[in-house]
Amino acid sequence: MERKEEYPLAIIGAGPAGLSASIYASRYGVDHIVIGHLPGGQISETHEIDNYPGVDAAGGFEFAESLMAHARKFGAPIESRMVVGVRKEDGAFVLLLDGGSTVRCRALLLATGTKRRALGIPREDEFVGRGVSYCATCDGFFYRGKTVAVIGGSNSAAGAALYLSDIAAKVYLVYRGDELRAEAHTVNRLREKGNVSIILGTNVVSLSGTETLTSVTLDRPHDGSEALPVDGLFIEIGSDPSADFARDLGVETDESGFVKVSADMTTNVPGVFAAGDLTDGSAKFRQVVTAAAEGAIAARSIHAYLSRS
C-alpha cells in the first residue's frame, strides 16, 4: 500500500503495544500508519513466550509474526523504517523518516518501548559483535558448543540462559544479587539444566581478549579464580525507555525517563498518547499482555480524541 503524506493517526513502534493499537484503531475506523524499525518489537528477539493468555510456549519471532499478520489483516500500512525526528507544526505532528520523507498526523501514539541497557565496563563497546551481545536469540547460534555467560537476574536473563543451554556447552548465569528475580517456574527449569551454573552475589567488572573475548573478571573469586574463561557474554540487565521523541515534544516523564500517562494513555501534550514499555502505566509491569492492553486503551482514547477535534 502506498504511503500517504498525512494520516489522522501515526503510531511509532511496531511491538505489541503499537500493533495492538493498530488492530483496535482499524476496528474503530481510524485511518493510520505504523512505523517501526523492528517488526514485532523486542519480543521478536525473545526465546520463548509462555505467559500470554491463549498462547502456549510460542517462539518470540513466531509470536511477533502473528501480531504483524493480525494487524496487516485490517489493511493499515506497517513500515519497517526509522523515525529520526518528530516536531509539532501548525497544529499537527510531523514525523521525519530516514531517507528524508515525512508523515503528518493529527494524533500521535508513542509505542517506542525500551532500549537495552549496557553494563558500562571497560572494553564493552570494543567487544560488541566479537564476544559481547545483548540478544541471545540473535547471536546464540554463533556459540554452539562453546562457553558463555549471561549477566542478569530477571526473566529476560533467565530466559536467555535457558535458550543458550540448548546451544552452548556451558552457561554461567552471573547476578549481583543474592537471589534471582526471575519467575520461580523459569528458575526451576534453569536448575534442572546440567550445563548451567548460577553465580550469585557477583559482578563482572572487566573483559579480556585480543581480537575476541576470552574471559571475564568477577569481583568475587569463582572456583578459586577471578577470571572466568568464556567465548561469549550476553548482557541482560534491563532496559531504559526510548523517550527521545517524547522529550522533543515536551511530554512529561518521571524520574526514570518513563512517559507519564493517565489511565486512558493520554499524556500532558494534547494529541500525544503513549503505550507499552515506554510508559509508567500498568504499575510498570512491562509484559506483553500489559503492552497490548495499553495499546488497545490508547486506540480507544485516540478515536474519541479525533472525533472531538
Could you say which of 139, 231, 277, 280 is catalytic? Answer: 139
Q: Is the CB of residue 174 less than 8 Å from the CB of residue 202?
A: yes
* 134: nearest Cα among 145, 120, 144: 120
Q: Which residues pair with 142 in a beta bridge?
A: none
Q: Is the CB of residue 134 less than 8 Å from the CB of residue 116?
A: yes
Q: Is the CB of residue 294 less than 8 Å from the CB of residue 279?
A: yes
Kindly state the cell numbers that stand for 70: 493480525
Q: Residue for cell digits 575476541?
A: 212
Question: Where would I find the beta strands (DSSP E) of 186-248?
Answer: 196-199, 204-209, 213-222, 225-229, 232-235, 239-241
Q: Is 105 a residue of the active site?
A: no
DSSP SS3 for 103 = strand
Q: What distance in Å separates the CA atoms of residue 8 and residue 5, rounded to the nearest whole number?
A: 11
Q: How far is CA 256 from CA 42, 243, 284, in A?
A: 20, 10, 11
Half-sphere exposure of 18 (CA within 13 A, CB side): 34
DSSP SS3 for 256 = coil
Q: Is 139 a residue of the active site?
A: yes
Q: What distance in Å separates the CA atoms of residue 268 and residue 104, rounded to the nearest whole number?
A: 20
Could you say which of 31, 135, 244, 264 is catalytic? Answer: 135
Q: What distance in Å separates the CA atoms of residue 194 and residue 178, rounded to the nearest whole number?
A: 21
User: What values do phi and psi take at 80, rounded to 5?
Assistant: -85, 80
Q: What distance in Å separates the CA atoms of residue 235 and residue 119, rounded to the nearest whole number?
A: 7
Could you say which of 50, 98, 125, 138 is catalytic? Answer: 138
User: Where in the sequence numbering do the catalytic residues fall?
Assistant: 135, 138-139
